[in-house]
Amino acid sequence: MKKSYLQLYLALGMGLFLAGCSDDNTTEPTPTPTPTSARYVVASSPIGSQGVADYLLTTSDLSQGTISTVGQGIEQDGSYRYYVTHKNKFFSLLYGQGNPGAVTTYELDDNGALQKISDFQSETVQVFTTAGDDILTIKVPRSGNESASWFRINADKSQIVGEGQINIVSLAGNGERAHFTWATQVGDKVYAPYMSIKGASPDVFGTAYPDSSWIAVFSYPSMTYEKTIKDDRTSFIGSYFNNGLAVDESGDVYAFSPAAATNAGVPTSTNPSAIIRIKGGTTEFDPSYFFNVQEKSGGYKMANQTYLGSGKILLYMYGNVNENAGNKRLAIADLYNQTFTWVNGIPEVVSSSSASYNNNTISDDKKQVYVGINTEAGSWVYTIDIESAVAQQGLKVEGGAITAIVKVK
């Protein structure tokens, strides 16, 4: 998302007790067109500009060379944009900050350039994820209205084909409200982790329940609520606009907690920043699995993550010990062996990085991952060797700060 590295307070919604739904429950997959050669879209925010959206630049090589926003790229309208790819299309979603949003759809032409094929107005949403043939988006209120709204956007048609509302106060069931941090498709279900928040001034995001985690389970595509999975070994899963779930190749679900709950602005989580697991085919947390990342890292907490494959994960860690604050540091963790390794070769002081929710910036051979790093000296894409956890400086992006890197086929 545009400026997600500035920790824009976006939230995610999905709730309980469907109300007033209209839904097209087509489940058969739509044929996918033959892809063009893959290209990377690099979103870059112009340096020194306020309230200006990204420029979209394209390249076939992230390991070397230079690209620039000066006189190049496709300018996006609006101040904040976030991006997702699905069915060989690139979707640019406008966050309207209380105003209507928009969904702009692009695809690659024969020359590997982005071509706009659709643009329609939509609700401003705080969560998006791919599910089936769709992009599932959700708008969730942080206070006032007790109903979150979800929308299914068919990726082939670029139009809304289903929508509904869900009561997030009923979902929390504790006098607070469920404030979702992300959503992830797991088989024929959608898992939606959430924070329990007060939802009222002066402490909207505070909670009286700092040491529990919850995941709401919905069937898909009907978005019918099934159950809530709860655990008391860590705090809530994910955080504002940060995906707290990863699904491995065997269908096991790993849940990441930053241990970031507060009350009246004061940190109150007593449980560590850790990873817990839901075994494939079950809908309960596995009591035998607990990866205490805060302990393994020497006291640092997780901020967000990108799943790399084969049990390896790229972790974005807060830079201050025992705090949810500080310049981000990167690490590679092994979910199966519960090992933790700091990434070497990254600048010590990182102003910001590309969005972690785009987990398709992994090389075709699954041996490297690409991350945009912004510093006072400039912006580069770094190539991180997954096995050795060593990074090497690659493509330079001039004229702007990298906000996202997305692979489009």
pLDDT per position as a tens digit, 225-246: 999 999 999 999 999 888 999 9
Q: What is the mean predicted confidence (pLDDT) over 275-296?
A: 98
Is pLDDT above 60 for 346?
Answer: yes
pLDDT score recorded for residue 242 = 85
Q: What is the mean predicted confidence (pLDDT) over 125-131?
A: 90
Q: What is the mean predicted confidence (pLDDT) over 33-39?
A: 58
**Any idea which of 67-71, 281-285, 349-353 has the lowest mean pLDDT?**
349-353
The pLDDT mean for the chain works out to 88
pLDDT score recorded for residue 17 = 35
Q: What are the structural domains, with CATH classification, of the chain?
A: 4-408 (2.130.10.10)
Is pLDDT above 80 for 25?
Answer: no
**Any idea which of 20-29, 148-157, 303-312 has the lowest mean pLDDT?**
20-29
pLDDT score recorded for residue 24 = 47
pLDDT score recorded for residue 192 = 97
For 7, phi then psi, to 5°, come to 65, 50
pLDDT score recorded for residue 359 = 53
| pLDDT band with cut points at 50, 70 and 90 for residue 356 | confident
Q: What is the mean predicted confidence (pLDDT) over 203-214?
A: 98
Q: What is the mean predicted confidence (pLDDT) over 35-41?
A: 73
Is pLDDT above 70 for 1?
Answer: no
Is pLDDT above 70 for 326?
Answer: yes
| pLDDT band with cut points at 50, 70 and 90 for residue 160 | very high
| pLDDT band with cut points at 50, 70 and 90 for residue 50 | low
pTM, full prediction: 0.89
The residue ranking higher by pLDDT, 12 or 185, is 185
Please report, rounded to a whole number, the percentage of residues in the chain having pLDDT higher than 70: 88
Is pLDDT above 90 for 248?
Answer: yes
pLDDT score recorded for residue 18 = 37
pLDDT score recorded for residue 97 = 72
- In angstroms, rounded to a whole number, what is the distance separating the alpha carbons of residues 370 and 60? 13
